[in-house]
Amino acid sequence: MYLDRFMHGHELLQAIARVNRRYPGKTRGLVVDYFGVGDRLTEALAMYSKADIQGALVNLKDELPKLDDRHRRVLSLFWDREIADISDIDACVDELRDIRLRAEFYIRFKEFMESMDIILPRPEALPYIYDMKVLGFINKAASNRYRDSQLNIAGIGSKVRQLIDEHIVAQGVDPKIPPVSILDKDFEKEVGTIGSTKSRALEMEHAARYHIEKHFNEDPALYKKLSERLKAILDSFRDNWDALAEELRRFINEVREGRQEDRSGLDPKTQAPFLGILLEEYGTQPNDHKMRQFCEAVIDMVDHIRQEIAAVDFWRSREAQNILRKWIINEVDDLDLLPFDKQGKLADRFLELAKAIHVRLVNT
């Protein structure tokens, strides 16, 4: 707000209060006093008790030590880990592999940004702008590499966010484009552009981990095995980055292929995931006769499930879902596929899977 006329008392306070109304992305307002009514603000506040107005007037100079302290606090996270220069982006992002350190970095980084938003565009903020931009790029790079949506600066003031976004774009990264998926045809090319072997391994690890978590509900049995396999690879190679990168490359190629057709003859996209759940609940490796029985049962049950969930608003109808759940339990019981104490859980898991792959089921 630009003040170019005389204001005092309630009128002045109400004008400032309106400027300071918050909404997402705005933490405070800015009043430019051309007329010189700032001195009247103290008089306007005099009608209130000291307790009510505590902190209402803060000298901007008091924010400068806080800005400097917050700047040092966020940098110390890297200094303490023998990274003297934050322009070594790969080293900083590698250190943020630790989720607890990542959370602490974001807290300190956000506090630093809040102070910068208060001081900007005053010249006192100039010495901190370069580090602010670099830290913003580190934050974005870590968000992409570790697929961590919490590293989000959407709530930071627009002045600061614009400067950071401009710097990120200048480095060849579009803040609006999500990190590349392992299913993307350019994934290996993107990984190849990363400088160190350690950084490439971390990128592949977290890209694979994110893919597994994202698609887990579509085939719980398969993705549970893949998650266990990934953990075993990481435990086996640990800090042997060259060997780990190569093993992760092979692992990701397998993950990208997804579930393949096998001797069961079931469709890997719509039927095999149900068989995987049934086998998990069964608990042991079935003999050939039992396996044939399982496959035949899955084919029939999936056909029935497909018909039921195709009904309009099926997933909004608790009654329709309960009817299908009871049908699954009765079918499993009649065929003697599982003991009674496991039938309810199987029915629940079948419904969860059907909801996760609804589109596949009703469109095939």
pLDDT means over runs of 10, the chain (364 residues):
75 74 67 69 65 58 89 96 93 93 95 90 91 94 90 79 88 79 90 88 93 94 95 91 94 91 88 96 92 95 96 95 97 95 96 96 88
DSSP for 55-110 reads TSS--GGGHHHHHHHHHHHHHHHHHTTT---TT-HHHHHHHTTSHHHHHHHHHHHH
> Token pair for residue 102?
């990542």
> Token pair for residue 113?
């940004």
- Looking at the chain, the number of H-run helices and the number of E-run strands are 16, 2
> Token pair for residue 332?
């499993």
Q: What is the pLDDT of residue 245?
A: 93
3-class DSSP state of 226:
helix
> Token pair for residue 148?
């961590």
* Planar angle of CA 108, 112, 117, nearest 5 degrees: 145
Per the document, the length of the chain is 364
CA–CA separation, 44 and 210 (whole Å): 55
Predicted TM-score of the model (pTM): 0.74
Residue that the structure tokens 């692992």 belong to: 251
Q: What is the pLDDT of residue 58?
A: 59
Q: Is 284 exposed, middle or buried (0-12, 13-18, 19+ CB in 10 A)?
A: exposed
* Structural domain boundaries in the chain: 2-57, 61-170, 187-257, 272-362
Q: What is the CA radius of gyration of the chain?
A: 29
Q: Give 31-39 contacts, CB < 8 A, sequence gap 24+.
A: 31/1, 31/2, 31/3, 32/1, 32/2, 32/3, 33/3, 34/2, 34/3, 34/4, 35/3, 35/4, 35/5, 35/6, 35/7, 37/3, 37/6, 37/7, 37/8, 37/12
Q: What is the pLDDT of residue 54?
A: 56
Q: What is the pLDDT of residue 150?
A: 83
Cβ atoms 63, 116 nearer than 8 A: no
Residue 32: phi and psi, rounded to 5, are: -105, 115
Cβ atoms 34, 4 nearer than 8 A: yes
Q: What is the pLDDT of residue 336?
A: 94
